[in-house]
Amino acid sequence: METLNQFKIELPAVISDAARVWIYQSSRKFQKDELEMLHLACSKFTSDWQAHGTHLVATYSVYFDRFICFFVDESHHGASGCSIDGSVRFIQLLEKNYSIALMDRMQVAWLKNGEVVTAHLHELENLYKSGEISMNTRMFNNLVSTKGEMEKSWLLPLSESWHRQMVS
């Protein structure tokens, strides 16, 4: 079985496999100077992140210069509706500051020659028929909900992904 490590993706070791994860896919690759500021902003956000006045055990990672992932170890204290709303407001602020989309769930992503490629979900069937993607294409499943699930199911061949239902 293939793992994320084969794609040089290392999930945060300081947080448990049961940690909850939220994945935000950018509409474009972050530029080098943007990444520096993004890391500072995400680091500050996760270090200050609270639920009902209690500090969350949280961290973040940015993968492929396109995916912002927040991890919360809920064995210490769970993320609440208010704390999740706070993270959404933070992501919306990033969208505004960087003129990008981070919450467009209709955009899907896959790897092509080590690079992230995106398209609208409804384009997948035509991309499959044209040969642009195949059953072996590595698709990103941004619907995973835990770090452990992310490790096993974030990047899967189209044949094993929920995206398969979009192609005939």
Residue-wise pLDDT tens digits, 22-70: 999 999 999 999 999 999 999 999 999 988 888 888 999 999 999 999 9
In this prediction, residues 16-22 reach a mean pLDDT of: 92
Q: Residue 64 corresponds to which tokens in the numbers above?
A: 């492929």
Is residue 158 within 8 Å of 136, Cβ to Cβ? yes
Distance, in Å, from the CA atom of 159 to the CA atom of 135, rounded to the nearest integer, reads 5
pLDDT at residue number 100 = 96
Give yes or no for a contact between 78 and 57, defined as CB atoms under 8 angstroms apart.
Answer: no
Residue 7 has what pLDDT? 61
Q: What is the mean pLDDT of residues 10-31?
A: 90
Q: Which letter, b or e, does each residue of 62-72 get, where b requires 16 or more Cβ atoms within 10 Å of its Cβ?
A: bbbebbbbbbb
- Tell me, what amino acid is at 150? M
pLDDT at residue 96 tops 70: yes
Closest listed residue to residue 142, CA positions, set 21, 45, 38, 28: 21
User: Measured over all CA atoms, what is the biggest interatomic distance in the chain, rounded to whole angstroms?
Assistant: 53
Tell me the mean pLDDT in the region 145-153: 93
* Domain locations in the chain as residue ranges: 17-98, 107-166
Answer yes or no: are the C-beta atoms of 140 and 155 closer than 8 Å: yes
pLDDT at 4 over 70: no
Task: Note the pLDDT of residue 83.
Answer: 85
* Model confidence, pTM: 0.91
The mean-pLDDT minimum among 14-23, 27-36, 110-119, 142-151 falls in 14-23
